[in-house]
Structure 1
Amino acid sequence: MRKRPLLVLSTVAAATLLLAGCSGSASPEPTDTSSPAPESSCLADLKSGAGSDAVVVDGTGADAKVTVPAGTELTEPERSVIVEGDGEDVMPGDLVSLRYQLIDAVTNEVLSTSERGPDGVLSALLSTQNSQQMVDPTQAPVFTVAAECIPIGSSVVVTLPSTQEGSNPSILYVETIEELPTVASGEDVDPTEGMPAVELDDAGAPTITIPEGDAPAETKVAALKEGDGAVVASGDLVTVQYRGVKWSDGSEFDSSWSRDAAPAQFQTTGVVTGFKMALEGQKVGSQVVVVMPPKDGYGEGEINETDLVGETLVFVVDILATTPLEQPQQ
């Protein structure tokens, strides 16, 4: 999976633009978010301060009203816990469902919310990136900064100081709801004749066996597990586990399972056609196998050892979550 855009869960510095519904610039190369963080460590571990402590939250869920008192100074990124939940601590690398609001800290206007997701809920894959820059909390992905190292069921406010001259600071209010599975949770479906055979190990990672005979001339998609979650629509931000192999020799060329089993996130419109066909119309919780000829993969041409041109490709994909990126019309 080489062709996919920059993850929408970008840095705090870009949060105001991204959470307002902009998906950011696409990147032709995958963004690696799978470097493991040190065990039981937070990436930013923001502390509370006068700014975040001053924010007032009335109510919960979609009815929560977030107010910043006039004159509140927001000069540093800070996090205050409004309600501490009773679940397990959320850690980098977890996939969680959450509600959020992004608030203009000067006007108290709601700039963006999770209402674009089913039932007003989004699914967030908390980044595991770690680097020397993590001493600066503005470099940590925004939902990770908000949710990390506090229990599921908590609600928090994070102050986001202005990053551009003339723009207002903002407040991110987040409620974590539950930790989501990182493998397909749907019901098993009988195998489809002629499709590659798939076996799962104890962790859920697939082994793919190519059948005898010629590769199909058209893209074929078959369900291995049938989920009952939201339906993936065109342009959605999806969270998946996947493994890709070549039909020609069965060798793996790309896999989230080979990167510490960390799920991947990307838009359905940012991947090759055959992968897009495998995702759209499927329900969250499903696992599918797709066989795509070169025309729906990386194009026709002479097969060689350095790229995927001319190759028929096979993917097994666990569909873990999907989120529309556009805000609903008011």
Structure 2
Amino acid sequence: MRRALAVLAAVPLIFFAAACGDSDAGANGGAATSTGGSAGLKVTGNMGAKPTVTFPAGSPATKSSYEVIQQGTGPEVKSGDKLIVNLTVYNWDGKGNAIQGSSYDTKQPETVPVNEQLPQVLQEGFTKVKHGGRLLAVLANDSVPQGQATAGAEPTKVFVLDVVGARPAALKAATGKETGESLKGVKVVSPGGDKAPTLTTKTDEKPSKELVVKTLIQGTGAKVLPTQTLSVHYTGKIWGTDKQFDSSWERGQPADFPLANVIQGWQKGLAGVPVGSRVVMSIPPDLGYGDQAQDNIPAKSTLVFVVDVLAAS
């Protein structure tokens, strides 16, 4: 489903409000069926289960649109929310109209931020439903700005998005009990509250050739799963030099990313860590960037990170 989300992010932010209509699908929680108001599509199936889309005969729609299939009864969706959604995607090519995937099959709902990075049609559509609602969206090639269209245009995409809820607000910093653990050769000072920890990696100690993870503050949240998207604050330095190469604290904003998309040291080091924890990690080159230099990270560097796990979904 990451590919499906990439499609969402790749569509430029142009909104065509074609066929935005109300649905008379009936009571929430039962079967949800569209009125066919969005480009002649029909959506059937119960909320909480994979929907089925029936396509009209002929060529696919050339204008993007959305339709509220079922509004939902929970809180309203607002711009800036990070929604947890079940997502089902079709290619509308006028031939097979093949399904591309569904999070109902993978049993892994996706987190979708409702922000300016989404296509405008979805920014608009999401704010017309509530938690527990279902949205139908058609994303056609009319959203491609002039000058960027190519001969091999993508098929029109059809999304059915069931809003499960919103991701809980992330913590501002690690919270919990200090464990007294430490990493030899590395110093971390935790000032308390929402303040950033101080990391010092100037040392004559030789770094371990293995991944080393020490929990400094033990959080009380659920344990991180390898498939989840995390929100973290972190500082990264080079072992032995105290050279800092990155810090979300200095940018003033936590980093959000799928754990599966980052270096192996992070994937192995953060899986199983409870939300709310602060950990310090020593990552050997083979689990970092290896023989390849990265910006201001020399090749074959041992990386040290202090990481606050603020949220996972």
TM range (shorter): 0.5 to 0.7
Q: Write the mapping of 1:12-27 to structure 2, written as runs, cut at 5 A.
A: 12=8
Q: Deviation at 1:113?
A: 0.8
Report the 3-state secondary structure (helix = DSSP H, G, I; strand = E; otherwise coil) of the residue aligned with 1:61.
coil
CA contact (8 A) 2:265 2:287 kept: yes
Q: What is the TM-score with the length of structure 1 in the denominator? A: 0.62
Report the 3-state secondary structure (helix = DSSP H, G, I; strand = E; otherwise coil) of the residue aligned with 1:289.
strand
Counterpart of 2:104? Answer: 115
| 1:245 partner letter | G
- The alignment status of 1:100 with 2:90, answered yes or no, reads no
User: Per the alignment, do residues 69 and 77 of structure 1 end up closer, same or farther by CA in structure 2, a change over 3 Å counting?
Assistant: same
User: Per the alignment, do residues 293 and 86 of structure 1 end up closer, same or farther by CA in structure 2, a change over 3 Å counting?
Assistant: same
User: Per the alignment, do residues 8 and 167 of structure 1 end up closer, same or farther by CA in structure 2, a change over 3 Å counting?
Assistant: closer
Q: Deviation at 1:249?
A: 5.5
Report the 3-state secondary structure (helix = DSSP H, G, I; strand = E; otherwise coil) of the residue aligned with 1:192.
coil
Partner residue of 1:193 out of 174, 182, 187: 182
Q: Deviation at 1:280?
A: 3.5
Q: Distance in 1 between matches of 2:192 and 2:40?
A: 50
Counterpart of 2:63? Answer: 76
| 2:140 partner letter | P
Counterpart of 1:271? Answer: 262
CA contact (8 A) 1:162 1:170 kept: no
Partner residue of 2:230 out of 226, 233, 239: 239
Q: Which runs of 5+ in 2 are unaligned?
A: 21-36, 143-150
CA contact (8 A) 2:39 2:61 kept: no
Q: Which runs of 5+ in 1 are unaligned?
A: 1-5, 16-42, 130-138, 323-330
Counterpart of 1:10? Answer: 6
Q: Write the mapping of 1:55-204 to structure 2, written as runs, cut at 5 A.
A: 55-71=41-57, 74-82=61-69, 83-84=71-72, 86-92=74-80, 94-105=81-92, 110-115=99-104, 118=107, 120-126=108-114, 128-129=116-117, 140=119, 147=126, 151-161=130-140, 169-176=156-163, 177-183=165-171, 188=177, 190-194=179-183, 196-197=187-188, 199=190, 204=194
Q: Distance in 2 between matches of 1:277 and 1:292?
A: 10
Q: Note the alpha carbon deviations across 1:98-122, whole angstroms, 9 max, x for none.
A: 111113445565431113555x422
Q: What is the TM-score with the length of structure 2 in the denominator? A: 0.64
| 2:198 partner letter | I
Q: Distance in 2 between matches of 1:240 and 1:180?
A: 11
What's the C-alpha RMSD, in Å, of the aligned pairs? 4.4
Q: Note the alpha carbon deviations across 1:12-55, whole angstroms, 9 max, x for none.
A: 4868xxxxxxxxxxxxxxxxxxxxxxxxxxx6556351762644
| 1:68 partner letter | T
User: Per the alignment, do residues 182 and 60 of structure 1 end up closer, same or farther by CA in structure 2, a change over 3 Å counting?
Assistant: farther
Alignment length (residue pairs): 273
Q: Deviation at 1:217?
A: 2.0
Counterpart of 1:307? Answer: 297
Give 1 or 2 for the bigger CA radius of gyration: 2
Partner residue of 2:17 out of 27, 47, 61: 47
Q: Note the alpha carbon deviations across 1:199-243, whole angstroms, 9 max, x for none.
A: 3765x463233378536424311233446546533xx46333232
Q: Write the mapping of 1:283-298 to structure 2, written as runs, cut at 5 A.
A: 286-294=277-285, 296-298=287-289
Identical residues among aligned pairs (%): 19
Q: Distance in 1 between matches of 2:233 and 2:48?
A: 33
Q: Distance in 2 between matches of 1:84 and 1:45?
A: 23
Counterpart of 1:27? Answer: none
More deviation, 80-89/157-166 = 157-166
More deviation, 237-246/173-182 = 237-246
| 1:178 partner letter | A
CA contact (8 A) 1:185 1:227 kept: no
Q: Deviation at 1:158?
A: 0.5
CA contact (8 A) 1:9 1:142 kept: no
Report the 3-state secondary structure (helix = DSSP H, G, I; strand = E; otherwise coil) of the residue aligned with 1:276.
helix
Q: Distance in 1 between matches of 2:180 and 2:125?
A: 42
- The alignment status of 1:210 with 2:196, answered yes or no, reads no
